[in-house]
Structure 1
């Protein structure tokens, strides 16, 4: 075939040779994995079953479990069938893979992370969507990619992306761990049904929590305003389930009317409540769309904000009216009885704890997004 040469926009110092276009089949031996029942694997690594098994149907880049034997070592795999068809990964070390994995084995060049990234950036464009999505071996074999001619440059790029992926994985795990901690603490720091004390509480607080209807904890504001100087908050501005804004709302140009809210009010998205569009604003503004603007009554606003994230509130709010456009029912929610600390200092302590936890979660989420953007930019500028 005709080979075309080019150079990337960014590359490591000391490399000046042009890159070349090559077919996958010229570089690797193309094969695939074999059928393996999930019952033959262990969920954790053991001496009897030490080798990872990869598939397209599970999380953690397809890790299915561990098996007693391995098929391949230091190779590139891709998902041949299903929703993840065309997803490419480099597998370091010895591993087993199932029959939904195609495999590229080192031949003319050594399989590595760099080539896996190059393929992953283009492979989905070759997936057939006639029936079940597929990227079969013969199609992968004909894909053309550009690679450095020098093995040393390929290895440096591979090492770079491996380290970047490790950083992304580290922050993803920290983010997931903190998110799970928050979920667990929302369960344990609010009393379960039938109890008047939570499983976990701060030292110094011993009084039983009191039972109050939600309408005694918060009232809805219904003041409509169109003040052009106030920022507008809409559903699309909130990162679902995080209470975090995804843009500078002061930069938005809008003349829409909305419900006026003040710092310390709680915004709750009543349309499709399962979307978890909530916000504890630190500014005055207008809530545009299907929001409840909740003003705390003899309650700490940060505690109220955590209460609407609790399982009990979520279950009640999702007993919604409507089918295509379900909305939380205020008549039901307002009359529902919730447990609340009688001591406002305990309410504030709970709110402060979750605020600190949310800040940590946001920190790791932003770092994760930053690293992913760095990787995206590198892929765009370091490959041709």
Structure 2
């Protein structure tokens, strides 16, 4: 048990010690309940009561504002009603995140109700407090030795919380809400960018039977062609380049140098002369290409002799990389040339070379490739911002609570 009376990081103007209290002395804790058999109570009627399940919890944010299912009012006596402002906590410690109710509803016995009956807490502060690493450690410690590793009313009530006065709680709650808002904002931007990219990739190649794509940059007017992969890309096999860095294939992530990887995969360095050279921007058919498509080399180096390398003259790698990883290419074009079962599957390379792929001028390829690259850059940017915000929030939970 932590005996500190103040957090590591604190907002200016607050100096008083925090107070240690048993949680059950500060809030009302009750277990949910389920009318049975539950299927007999599910209803679409307008007077149905919101039936709160794990799937109704938001991916981002703390408030539950809607439910997918409702139950008949007759089931109310067999369940637990919750009100806006109540907190609910899953009794599964593998889940562990509390939520604030934004609506009336009913909870089953997989939830615990935590009600701020005595107004000791700012709700946002309490919501974050219950999900801190300090609280999760207490849950695990108190549940140790139990045959069922779940939370219950007594276990949660026996936890000890260290809390400041209500004014400091509100400031911490406001800051945590601000962080949550930023995280949600970047998550939404990221999702929108992924939707834009998905729509772009679906419409920048001609549909079956069409000679031009639905989406096209201005200035390009000619029909597209269908050419055999083996005519657009030439397979090559250059060995005796052991002076080059050895590369690893990352499905969906290009290539990385083995000496810069955190994976400790063993390989025979005496056999490096037999490794194949691959140039940056060229394509690789690797051991999992039957399910993930072709990979693009993001640097020059040498790769396992089990792989196949392809180079295209006057082709834009970013443009074709999107196509070679598309569902159409993998599931429709490539599948007829995959043989074997389960993890023993392989690609018939000669058959793959006969697959017809879209072909347009290098200038149009480049325009599409640059746009995809720009989208990828924005997606990466928002992913990094999102990861940084999540790290900040994690640190906040560890250092601004006791």
Q: Which band: TM-score by shorter chain?
A: 0.7 to 0.9
Distance 1:11 1:325, change over 3 A: farther
After TM superposition, the structure 1 = structure 2 runs for residues 180-259 of structure 1, keeping only pairs within 5 Å, are 180-224=195-239, 227=242, 230-235=244-249, 238=250, 241=252, 243=253, 251=260, 257=272, 258-259=275-276
Which structure would you say has the larger Rg? 2
Q: Work out the CA distance in 2 between the residues paired with 1:295 and 1:5.
A: 63
Give RMSD over aligned pairs: 3.9
Secondary structure in 2 matching 1:74:
coil
Distance 1:347 1:90, change over 3 A: same
Pick aligned residue for 1:56 from 31, 54, 57: 54
Distance 1:93 1:217, change over 3 A: same
Pick aligned residue for 2:175 from 152, 155, 160: 160
After TM superposition, the structure 1 = structure 2 runs for residues 110-189 of structure 1, keeping only pairs within 5 Å, are 110-120=121-131, 121=133, 122-123=135-136, 126=140, 134-144=150-160, 146-189=161-204
After TM superposition, the structure 1 = structure 2 runs for residues 262-277 of structure 1, keeping only pairs within 5 Å, are 262-267=279-284, 269-271=286-288, 273-274=290-291
Secondary structure in 2 matching 1:161:
helix
Q: TM-score, normalised by structure 1?
A: 0.79
Structure 2 spans left out of the alignment, 5+ residues = 74-80
- For the pair 1:294 / 2:310, whether they are aligned, the reply is yes
How big is the shift at 1:199? 1.7
Q: Work out the CA distance in 2 between the residues paired with 1:97 and 1:261.
A: 60
- For the pair 1:261 / 2:278, whether they are aligned, the reply is yes
Q: Work out the CA distance in 1 between the residues paired with 2:327 and 2:314.
A: 22
Secondary structure in 2 matching 1:376:
helix
Give the aligned partner of residue 324 of structure 1.
343
Secondary structure in 1 matching 2:85:
strand
Give the aligned partner of residue 376 of structure 2.
358
Q: TM-score, normalised by structure 2?
A: 0.76
- Give the paired residue count: 367
How big is the shift at 1:24? 2.6
Q: Work out the CA distance in 1 between the residues paired with 2:17 and 2:220.
A: 70
Secondary structure in 2 matching 1:135:
coil
How big is the shift at 1:87? 2.5
Pick aligned residue for 2:96 from 71, 75, 87: 87
Give the aligned partner of residue 101 of structure 1.
111
Distance 1:92 1:39, change over 3 A: closer
CA deviations on 1:90-139 (whole Å, 9 max, x unpaired) are 42643435313322110342252333223223438537999987433333
Structure 1 spans left out of the alignment, 5+ residues = 43-47
Q: Work out the CA distance in 2 between the residues paired with 1:138 and 1:277.
A: 55
Structure 1 outlier segments of 4+, above 6 Å: 36-39, 66-70, 127-133, 247-250
Q: Work out the CA distance in 2 between the residues paired with 1:225 and 1:328.
A: 25
Give the aligned partner of residue 78 of structure 2.
none
Moved more, 113-122 or 171-180: 113-122
Secondary structure in 2 matching 1:16:
coil
How big is the shift at 1:359? 0.9
Secondary structure in 2 matching 1:64:
coil
How big is the shift at 1:354? 0.6
- For the pair 1:26 / 2:18, whether they are aligned, the reply is no
Give the aligned partner of residue 303 of structure 1.
319
Q: Work out the CA distance in 2 between the residues paired with 1:289 and 1:87.
A: 47
Q: Work out the CA distance in 2 between the residues paired with 1:89 and 1:148.
A: 17
Moved more, 332-341 or 255-264: 255-264
Distance 1:171 1:3, change over 3 A: closer
Q: Work out the CA distance in 2 between the residues paired with 1:312 and 1:129.
A: 52
How big is the shift at 1:226? 5.9
CA deviations on 1:281-312 (whole Å, 9 max, x unpaired) are 2x423346975543224422222222212222
Give the aligned partner of residue 15 of structure 2.
16
Q: Work out the CA distance in 2 between the residues paired with 1:3 and 1:231.
A: 50
Secondary structure in 1 matching 2:55:
coil
How big is the shift at 1:195? 2.6
